[in-house]
Amino acid sequence: MWRASGRPGVPAALRRLLLLLLLATREAAALEPVSVGLAIGAASALTGYLSYTDWYCRFAECCDAERPLDASALKQDLEEKLFGQHLATEVILKALTGFKNNKNPKKPLTLSLHGWAGTGKNFVSQIMADHLHPRGLKSHFVHLYVSTLHFPHEQKIKLYQDQLQKWIHGNVSKCANSMFIFDEMDKLHPGIIDAIKPFLDYYEQVDGVSYRRAIFIFLSNAGGDIITRTALDFWRAGRKREEVQLKDLEAVLSVGVFNNKHSGLWHSGLIDRNLIDYFVPFLPLEYRHVQMCVRAELQARGAVVDEEVVARVAQEMTFFPKDEKIYSDKGCKTVQSRLDFY
Ligand SMILES: Nc1ncnc2c1ncn2[C@@H]1O[C@H](COP(=O)(O)OP(=O)(O)OP(=O)(O)O)[C@@H](O)[C@H]1O
Ligand SMILES: [Mg+2]
């Protein structure tokens, strides 16, 4: 549990002493948790002001399944930082707010993010993690699995399925509102992901553990072609990108991914059983969005936003389709490394 710091009435010197004691014991935590617990308990008893949990959670990360979501802060972050993704912004805000406001969810929240390279799928996962756990992606309760790193061999599917079930069971037992991100879903061998199907379903408990407060996010390039085609149709018809609606994409996306052997969700029971709550489309980024990424990166580096540099970096990117050259083929992905040359 996270509380506001300091309580009135504890003398400053005593607080400093206890702080030192705790920092020292924290260093030893990895070796000897029992003594650490006793030391913290003694410190708490000495003052009578702070509970064990208060002290412990001030220095170690604690799971707080009831931690509320600050929906307006999330909205602001998405609107200010995520460029050109009106659908993703809308769906993610709606999904997270609805899920966190629900005192008794019937299943974990499962989102599947799809889109072209460099359009912000990992970026938005980081924003979500930051709003769900104070330590964001560094939290012990946020887990990132990368297909090519964690599940590389096709002949080991059975082993990976067992491992996945154990990891997820273990992590949700420790913290009910754990977050799991599966990156590179399009490179995941077919069938692996179905191992987690029981956890995503409408069960109250599986083997004594409730998964209903957990969040599962899948990231994938699969379906990027479908999304691009739709965006391009709108563009060619002289319609604004912002006119693309979720209903123009959600159904085609889920069918497309289900029928795509290289989506990680090919013939997956997760789609069959409607266990994915939202398919979130990421539109391909245009020249003006790349410019926005360059400006944001310059600002993040504390540099002056020089419009000449912005234009030069954006012009270095390559755009498709061949004739119209509307969309950046790497999205904003190489902006950071390109800026190093200026
Ligand atoms: N829509 C966006 N708005 C703002 N910044 C973005 C956006 N898309 C990408 N970026 C920037 O580009 C970087 C790379 O994007 P990101 O890693 O999120 O792409 P991705 O969609 O996961 O691509 P891939 O499919 O290749 O993994 C981000 O860290 C961010 O700085
Ligand atoms: Mg990515």
CA 120 to ligand 2 centroid distance, Å: 7
Q: Which of 191, 181, 168 is nearest to 264 (CA)?
A: 191
CA distances from 20 to 17, 35, 57, 175, 265 (A): 5, 16, 16, 28, 51
User: Ligand 1, from 286, 294, 333: best to mutate by most atoms within 8 Å of Cβ?
Assistant: 333
Directed axis angle between helix 33-47 and helix 12-27, to 10°? Answer: 170
Q: Are strands 179-183 and 327-328 parallel, antiparallel or unpaired?
A: unpaired
Ligand 2 centroid vs 125 CA: distance in angstroms? 9
C-alpha span between 211 and 90 (Å, rounded): 25
Terminal Cα-to-Cα distance of the chain (whole angstroms): 45
- Residue count of the chain, please give it: 342
Domains of the chain: 12-59 (no CATH), 71-282 (3.40.50.300), 287-339 (no CATH)
Ligand nearest to the CA of 121: 1
Annotated binding site for ATP: 115-122
* Half-sphere exposure (Cβ direction) of 284: Cα atoms closer than 13 Å: 26
* Residues less than 5 Å from ion ligand 2, measured at CB: 121-122
| Nearest residue by C-alpha to atom 30 in ligand 1 | 123
How far is ligand 1, taken at its centre, from the CA of residue 83, in Å?
A: 10
Per-residue pLDDT of the chain (342 residues; tens, 9 = 90+): 333 333 333 455 555 555 555 555 444 444 455 555 566 556 555 555 567 677 778 778 899 888 899 999 999 999 999 999 999 999 999 999 999 999 999 999 999 999 999 999 999 999 999 999 999 999 999 999 999 999 999 999 999 999 999 999 999 999 999 999 999 999 999 889 999 999 999 988 998 999 999 999 999 999 999 999 999 999 999 999 999 999 999 999 999 999 999 989 998 989 989 999 999 999 999 999 999 999 999 999 999 999 999 999 999 999 999 999 999 999 999 999 998 887
Q: What is the DSSP string of 41-105?
A: HHHHHHHSSS-HHHHHHHHS----TTPPP-HHHHHHHHHHHS-S-HHHHHHHHHHHHHHHH-SS-
Query: To test ligand 1's pocket by mutation, which of 80, 112, 122 has the most ligand atoms within 8 angstroms of CB?
Result: 122
Closest ligand to C-alpha of residue 87 is 1
Q: How far is the CA of 304 from the centre of ligand 1 (A)?
A: 22
Distance 330 CA to ligand 1 centre (A): 9
What is the C-alpha to C-alpha distance for residues 157 and 64, in angstroms, rounded to an integer?
Answer: 34
State the pTM of this model.
Answer: 0.86
Which residues' Cβ are closer than 6 Å to ligand 1? Answer: 81-85, 115, 117-123, 221, 293, 331-333
